[in-house]
């Protein structure tokens, strides 16, 4: 290299050039932050926390990263307002922009009650109806979430005709929640937007942004309150279901002061409370949804073992909070009968722990390797005893558990790891998908009594087949072909024969009003 530079300088002198020939300066690297400000901030916000477009932060992007993120920037997103930048930006610009978007925020974001209230908006064209505007059974309506283009289809549960198809916030996550009378449904997105829709009127009511990155929502026993579990900020937001106003924003911190994300929140109707799993601290929270029947009423026993005492002098009344200390953080959980116990797991662990909510402590543990997906667990009566089953996200098996003594009574081998289970009181079968791996196009049908696979369906060879929902009476089962050019396939739930196929844009979850509001035993929370 030195010899080359010297030779170049000699040539320069020989030809009378003014000075030595120097290497061209390196081109400046594209600046992702500047590119974001110029091309993205108008839709996604100066802080990357979202605007008309979704938040562009790692927590909201989920599995979209690297080359996939660059491809979206270059090619845009079908059926959204996201444009393609391949003709505007160089590949280097796109790579720098993708890298910037994938970086965590420098400071944890704040999203206060005032911030939430400022996002509240209502549809000017909404007129509430005195009765359903359709002739279908309003309690046999099934909603289909279509993630391919961010819509929900409203199905008549008897004819399977589409009554309405309405747009949702970007990236719906977690199951929609119905008011107890089945009239209204609330839908949440990963970006924390909560949408209220009137099923009777077939019309959106309004929406509000309750968090910045959210996990799921839960409806109170009386339908008055909606809880929103947030990753960002680390809060639980409670909204009034009437007008989407903020009832309370609860900062989620452990007893030792450690802030925590909320892994999940579910309704415990028998207890008139919300129950929360916390991602970052070994605690379960119970939050009262009734001032007279919350965690501190006289029917609750408080443990004095292992430092788990909770003072009765703590918060009381509506939204009172109770802490239950556990051995390790719990990611998800499933309730036992009468909501006295829950079984929870840590995604990194190989066991389930049973927590008695009355005494406020762990009472049992059982082996559950392979990352059980307890949020999709279901239960039914078998030989006079109640059992529950859960799929495993890392192993091709289902675990069947006796909930009286919390023992694993059977494991059912499957064609691969699954994600969802469904059944119905009037069905003799459990339906289990094989969501992960080469057999993702299969659907197992399992006898509830023998626990044997009686049939394996192959409704869309080579495509992902997942998630089942039953009609109100259990006579039909609806299965998703989870692809952009997908479909909802309607089966006769007794003969297991296909009766109809409805084209859909990447249909994911399906939710029947009756099953969800009546807590049908074959469905999950």
Report d(CA 234, CA 331) in Å as an integer.
15
Average model confidence (pLDDT) for the chain? 88
Contacts of 404 (CB under 8 A, 6+ apart): 385, 386
Distance CA 487, CA 492 (A): 16
> Residue 442: which of 470, 469, 482, 399 has the closest Cα?
482
Q: Does some domain include residue 401? A: yes
Residue 271 resides in a domain? no
Given a cut of 60, whether residue 311 has pLDDT beyond it is: no
3-state secondary structure of 278: strand
357 found inside a domain: no
Mean pLDDT of 483-499: 97
Structure tokens at 148: 């391919």
Tell me whether residue 159 is in a domain. Answer: no
Condensed to tens digits (0 to 9), the pLDDT of residues 81-118 reads 688 898 888 988 888 888 888 888 888 788 999 999 99
Which of 12-21, 23-32, 51-60, 187-196 bottoms out in mean pLDDT, i.e. has the lowest?
A: 12-21
Does 98 map to a domain?
A: yes
CA distance 380 to 446: 13
121 assigned to some structural domain:
no
Domain boundary among 59, 84, 102: 102
CATH value at residue 381: 2.130.10.10
Helix (H, G, I), strand (E, B) or coil at 161: coil
Rounded distance between C-alpha atoms, residue 186 and residue 193, angstroms: 10
Orientation of helix 66-75 relative to helix 91-102, angle to 10°: 120
Q: Is the dihedral of CA 423, 378, 389, 370 positive or negative?
A: positive
Q: What is the mean pLDDT of residues 34-47?
A: 85
pLDDT band of residue 18 (cuts 50, 70, 90) is very low
Mean pLDDT of 256-268: 95
Q: Which residues of 436-456 are buried (b: 16+ CB within 10 A; e: fewer)?
A: beebbbbbbbbebeebebeee
Three-state DSSP string of 483-509: CCCEEEEEEECCCCCEEEEEEECCEEE
Query: What are the tens digits of pLDDT across the range 342-359?
Result: 999 877 767 899 999 999
| Structural domain contains residue 203 | no
**What mean pLDDT comes out for the span 492-497?**
98
Q: How many domains, the chain?
A: 2
Instruction: Kindly tell me if the per-residue pLDDT of 35 is higher than 80.
Output: yes
Q: Regarding predicted confidence, which is higher, 449 or 291?
A: 449
Average pLDDT of span 261-275: 95
Mean per-residue pLDDT for 199-207?
98
Determine the Cα–Cα distance for residues 190 and 56; give it in Å rounded to an integer.
Answer: 11
| pLDDT on residue 472 | 97
* pLDDT digits 0-9 by tens, 53-68: 777 887 667 667 777 8
Name the domain boundary from 102, 132, 166: 102
Q: Give the per-residue pLDDT at 96.
A: 87
Averaged pLDDT for residues 258-280: 95
Query: Which residue is it, tokens 């003014």?
Result: 18
What phi, psi does 50 have (nearest 5°)? 105, 155
Query: What pLDDT sits at residue 52?
Result: 63
* H or E element at residue 351: strand 351-356
23-32, 264-273, 473-482: the lowest-pLDDT one: 23-32
pLDDT tens digits for range 217-233: 999 999 999 999 999 99
Q: pLDDT exceeding 90 applies to what percent of the chain?
A: 69
- Confidence at 25, pLDDT banded by 50, 70, 90: low
Sequence-distant (6+) residues with CB within 8 A of 382 are: 448, 449
Q: Roughly how many angstroms between the first and final C-alpha of the chain, as a whole number?
A: 69
Least confident of 22-26, 133-137, 284-288, 375-379: 22-26
The SS3 of residue 524 is: coil
Q: Which residues of 270-317 form beta strands (DSSP E)? A: 273-278, 283-288
Asked if the structure places residue 343 within a domain, the reply is no
Cβ proximity of 366 and 373 under 8 Å: no
pLDDT at 4: 40
58 membership: H or E segment, kind and range: helix 58-61
Bond preceding residue 233 cis, omega within 30 of 0: yes
Q: Provide the CATH number for the domain around residue 96.
A: 1.10.760.10
| Residue after which a domain boundary falls, among 83, 102, 121 | 102
pLDDT at 80: 62
Domain that holds residue 56: 24-102
pLDDT of residue 310 exceeding 50, the answer is no
pLDDT in tens, 113-165: 999 999 999 999 999 999 999 999 999 999 999 999 999 999 999 999 999 99
In this predicted structure, what is the pLDDT of residue 219?
97
pLDDT of res. 51: 67
- The answer on pLDDT for 503 being more than 90 is yes
């Amino acid at each position: 290299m030195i010899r080359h530079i010297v030779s170049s300088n000699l040539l320069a002198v020989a030809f009378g050039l003014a000075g030595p020939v120097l290497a061209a300066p390196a081109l400046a690297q594209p600046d992702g932050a500047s590119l974001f400000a110029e091309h993205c901030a108008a839709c996604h916000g100066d802080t990357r926390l979202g605007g008309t477009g979704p938040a562009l932060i790692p927590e909201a992007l989920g599995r979209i990263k690297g080359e996939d993120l660059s491809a979206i920037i270059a090619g845009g997103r079908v059926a959204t307002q996201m444009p393609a930048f391949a003709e505007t930006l160089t590949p280097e610009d796109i790579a720098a922009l993708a890298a910037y978007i994938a970086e965590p925020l420098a400071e944890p974001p704040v999203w206060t009650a005032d911030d939430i209230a400022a996002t509240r908006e209502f549809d000017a064209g909404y007129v509430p109806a005195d009765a359903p505007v359709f002739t279908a059974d309003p309690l046999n309506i099934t909603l289909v979430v279509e993630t391919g283009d961010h819509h929900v289809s409203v199905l008549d549960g008897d004819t399977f005709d589409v009554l309405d198809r309405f747009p949702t916030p970007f990236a719906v996550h977690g199951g929609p929640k119905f008011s107890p009378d089945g009239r209204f449904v609330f839908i949440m997105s990963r970006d924390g937007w909560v949408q209220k829709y009137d099923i009777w009127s077939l019309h959106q009511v309004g929406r509000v942004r309750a968090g910045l990155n959210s996990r799921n929502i839960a409806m109170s026993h009386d339908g008055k309150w909606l809880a929103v579990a947030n990753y960002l900020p680390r809060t639980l937001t409670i909204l009034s279901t009437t007008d989407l106003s903020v009832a309370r924003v609860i900062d989620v911190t452990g007893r030792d002061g450690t802030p925590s994300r909320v892994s999940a929140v579910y309704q415990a109707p028998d207890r008139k409370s919300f129950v929360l799993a916390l991602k970052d601290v070994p605690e379960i929270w119970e939050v009262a949804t009734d001032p007279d029947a919350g965690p501190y009423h006289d029917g609750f026993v408080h443990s004095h073992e292992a430092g788990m005492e909770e003072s009765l002098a703590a918060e009381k009344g509506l939204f009172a909070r109770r802490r239950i200390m556990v051995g390790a953080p719990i990611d998800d959980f499933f309730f036992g009968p009468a909501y006295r116990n829950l079984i929870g797991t840590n995604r990194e662990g190989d066991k389930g722990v049973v927590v008695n909510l009355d005494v406020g402590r762990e009472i049992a543990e059982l082996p559950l390797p392979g990352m059980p997906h307890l949020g999709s667990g279901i239960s039914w009566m078998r030989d006079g005893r109640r059992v529950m089953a859960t799929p495993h996200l890392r192993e091709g098996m289902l675990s069947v558990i006796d909930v009286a003594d919390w023992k694993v009574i059977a494991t059912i081998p499957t064609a691969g790891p699954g994600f969802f289970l469904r059944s119905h009181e009037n069905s003799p079968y459990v339906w289990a998908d094989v969501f992960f791996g080469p057999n993702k196009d299969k659907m197992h049908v399992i006898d509830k009594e023998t626990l044997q696979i009686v049939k394996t369906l192959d409704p869309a060879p080579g495509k992902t087949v997942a998630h089942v929902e039953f009609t109100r009476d259990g006579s039909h089962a609806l299965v998703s072909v989870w692809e952009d050019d997908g479909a909802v396939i309607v089966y006769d739930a007794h003969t297991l024969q296909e009766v109809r196929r409805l084209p859909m844009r990447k249909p994911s979850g399906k939710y029947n009003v009756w099953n969800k509001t009546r807590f049908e035993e074959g469905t999950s929370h």
